[in-house]
Amino acid sequence: MSAEAAVTRVGEIQAMLGALRGQGPATGGATPPSTDFAAKLQSATAATAAPVATAAVAGGSSTPYDALITESAQRNGVDPALLKGLIRQESNFNPAARSGAGAVGLTQLMPATAAGLGVADPTDPAQAIEGGARYLRAQLDRFGGDEAKALAAYNAGPGAVQRFGGVPPYAETQAYVQRVLGYARDYGSPLHGSLASSQASSSGTLLSNPTPIGS
């Protein structure tokens, strides 16, 4: 049953209840229904309303560009929820976003990185999402499928991840990794234990800001 049909059905049941209680437009008065019958109608109302509430909750996980994100994620073999989390953190789904370092678009690619990924216009959502998915896939391949390390490489550069043997002790990068993984979890990703590994690697001395993507 669609949400619209469910709402209509709830209205019909509530109207029936009102009429049976003598609150409707019926003439000559109405005999109040038995307690058992009224209880059954109340139960039916609750059961019919449930799909409406469920639909509202389910709709909370949708994001702009869902179709493009899912297609690029599947094409590049990455978790769509992880890619959504990355885009949310990078640009909050603003295709015109620009950083002070020169990163552009939904996935905040530096110009040289964008060109290397075949992205001619990083402000174009389809190109930016595809480029970001390709770059994320490359980092996952580089770091054995570890989402935390791949995200750290996306933020701070793969050299930093290799140099420190994991998520670098940069405050910005460690916060970035945990936020993206948290968003991905909200969007439905199991994350394969990466959230725990990223938190475990966050101990130690924190250093200054990392190098922008692609520089």
Mean pLDDT taken over the chain: 75
23-69 confidence digits (pLDDT tens):
443 333 333 444 444 444 344 434 333 333 322 223 346 899 999 99
User: Are 128 and 106 in contact, with CB atoms under 8 Å apart?
Assistant: yes
126-162 confidence digits (pLDDT tens):
999 999 999 999 999 999 999 999 999 999 999 999 9
SS3 of residue 207 by DSSP: strand
User: Are 192 and 148 in contact, with CB atoms under 8 Å apart?
Assistant: no
User: Are 179 and 186 in contact, with CB atoms under 8 Å apart?
Assistant: no
Q: Say what the pTM is.
A: 0.64
User: Are 214 and 114 in contact, with CB atoms under 8 Å apart?
Assistant: yes
- CA dist 66 and 35 (Å) reads 48
Sign of CA dihedral 120, 124, 130, 136: positive
The residues annotated with a catalytic role in the active site are 90
